[in-house]
Chain A
Amino acid sequence: MRGDDAVGLLAARRLRQDLGDRAEVIEAEMAGVDIVEFMKGVRVGILIDAARSRQRPGTIHRLDASTGPIAVGMFPSSSHALGVSEALELARVLGVLPKTVIVYGIEVGHTEAGQPLSPQVAKALDEVVSVVIQECDACHA
């Protein structure tokens, strides 16, 4: 794990435990273009990833990608691991983007290999997990 960079994976593990069969939870490590595949046939997609936009570590960004692109710079991309923003745009172009797509970006501090989450990001993780559970429950209501 690379410090705060692991926050998305940790959120997925917590949500899998807490949501049970109320939602399909995928740990999409370095998913890139594979995100397109995950979007197929989904009604509501919620993505959680580490973000970097020079804000205070632990800041939570809630971005709605349902109707338009989200900021590219916040989620780094590369050729081999397309960033979240580009992967969602590819899904949109290919017509497989779910009707509702929400992206939670959690601002990271340190990302050194082998380090645990910083306290601010750990707190944000708790908050995002709680909010996402509420959103999932709202979808089923």
Chain B
Amino acid sequence: MSEETAQTRTIAVDLVARVEGEGALRITVKGDAVQDVELRIFEPPRFFEAFLQGRHYEEVPDIVARICGICPVAYQMSAVHALEQIFGIRVEGALRDLRRLIYCGEWIESHALHVYMLQAPDFLGYESGIAMAKDHAAMVTRGLRLKKAGNAIMTLLGGRSVHPVSVKVGGFSRVPLRRELEGLKDELLWARDAAVETVRWVAGFDYPEFSPDYNYVALRHPDEYPFNEGQIIASSGLQLTVNEFEEHFTEHQVAYSTALHCALHGSPYLVGPLARVNLNREHLTPLAKQVLADQEIALPLRNPFHGIIARSIEILYALEESLRLIEWYEPPPVPAAPITVRPGIGMACTEAPRGILYHRYEVDGDGIVREAKIVPPTSQNQSRIEQDLRLYMPRLLSLPEKEAALACERVIRCYDPCISCATHFLNLEIKRESGT
């Protein structure tokens, strides 16, 4: 659709975009200058914070799992760790390992879906994963089987692959038998090899030259690649505990979006696989490091389009970690640590597939949630996405509108944004104002 006046030119493109949630992008261009970039989000998951008020703490993991169909474990993990901080519990041993394992399952399924079905079509020149499947059926079949391997871990540990039900404060409602976990091994071994092939595959894509100056933010643990624990660090040198999050990261409203934007000391920053890989590269496995070296991929990765490489490496990491955890597994004596309720405030940050996910809860002496705060990764990346589009847009100005719009979408998809789980299209509008 195109409307033209003497002063302005507005182009609106309705398209089914491979991003999650209800949103729109409006870019205003004046002459050769990008005036404004607004990523509008209409339905963020934040109303869940109000939903949680007045609910018993035991209900929290099941409620927050409903925020997202693709990363429910992340919401559950941030929630249980924050609540356990209040109750003075630290989950260790096999229960801790099982939490890492279920998180591996989520990363595998989420990343495999994004790599194969959502972002690969951008590099291979297809409008969708279905269109790509016509010419690359073997690749898509491999991607779906990889995703299924992640699903299998989540189903075994969580009771089902979507909105798992067994995660609880203190541990799980049920833990697997050793032979149940061993039953996953053959498929995970296949998946590990497929993950190596995935890294090689995406390493061969053509990437546009684009390297913004990012401030990467991720968790960092002294001994392991981060899932549930660690300090928050930034490439700018910042290092803080999770409890200090709100002193440094502030959310603010923008008029055009119902989602809050989060900034670090007032500036955009980047969370997600690219940030994680760059800030935790020494904790990658020897095989992951070797595959990267074989492909002559040097870390840190500075191009947002290389997010697909970071995701592929994390699929490989998560599969190797899953196999290690299964190998070492001895069922814990009890499926969950006993809880003694006490009032207080607790915070936790875990690494969702798309980046750090912060939760804070205040509960009273009866275990009732009085306040909840949730800062999802996509909210944190919003300003960074807008900044990337500002930087990327000038090279698109000479393109026909449709091509420019598709190129903007490709930039947005680098972030695998999960805006919400409501309706599902992006309305992209480029407004051109005549230069003065």
Contacts and interface: CB of A to CB of B under 8 A. Distances in A.
B52 interface: no
Contacts of B70: 80-81
B228 interface: no
B129 A78 contact: no
Q: How big is chain A's contact interface, by range?
A: 20 to 34
Given A78-B20, A79-B18, A80-B69, A33 B144 contact: yes
Interface stretch (B278-286, B290-298, B367-375, B416-424): B416-424
Binding site of A, secondary structure by majority: helix, strand, loop or mixed?
Answer: loop
Interface string A69-84: 0000000111111100
Contact of A33 (B18, B20, B147, B424): B147
A119 interface: no
A131 interface: no
Interface stretch (B93-101, B134-142, B187-195, B244-252): B134-142
B304 interface: no
B301 interface: no
A27 B141 CA distance: 23
B168 interface: no
Interface string B11-30: 00000111111000000000
Given A30-B69, A76-B424, A79-B19, A36 B118 contact: no
Contacts of B129: 33, 90
A2 to B, nearest CB: 10
Interface string A100-129: 000000000000000000000000000000
B21 A93 contact: no
Given A79-B424, A80-B70, A95 B117 contact: no
A36 B16 CA distance: 20
A89 B130 contact: yes
Given A81-B421, A86-B130, A93-B137, A34 B117 contact: no
Contacts of A93: 130, 133-134, 137
Contacts of B424: 76-79, 81
A49 to B, nearest CB: 15
Contacts of B113: 32-33, 79-80
Q: How big is chain B's contact interface, by range?
A: 20 to 34
Output the residue of B114, B137, B148, B162 with the most chain A CB within 10 A. B162
A34 B20 contact: no
A29 interface: yes
A75 B423 CA distance: 11
Contacts of B141: 94
Interface in B418-436: 418, 421, 423-424
B151 A90 contact: no
Interface string A30-57: 1111101100000000000000000000
A37 B423 CA distance: 24
Output the residue of B18, B117, B137 with the most chain A CB within 10 A. B117
Interface string B67-95: 00110000000000000000000000000
Nearest to B134: A93
Contacts of A86: 128, 130
B383 interface: no
A32 B421 CA distance: 13
Nearest to B129: A90
A33 B117 contact: yes
Contacts of A36: 144
B142 to A, nearest CB: 11
B16 A77 contact: yes
A85 B203 CA distance: 32
B412 to A, nearest CB: 11
B360 interface: no
A84 to B, nearest CB: 13
B350 interface: no
Leading 6 A-B pairs by shortest Cβ distance = A78-B424, A80-B70, A30-B69, A79-B18, A93-B133, A80-B20
22 contacts: A29-B160, A30-B69, A30-B421, A33-B129, A34-B148, A37-B148, A77-B16, A78-B20, A78-B423, A79-B17, A79-B18, A79-B117, A80-B69, A80-B110, A82-B117, A86-B128, A90-B129, A90-B140, A93-B130, A94-B133, A94-B137, A95-B137
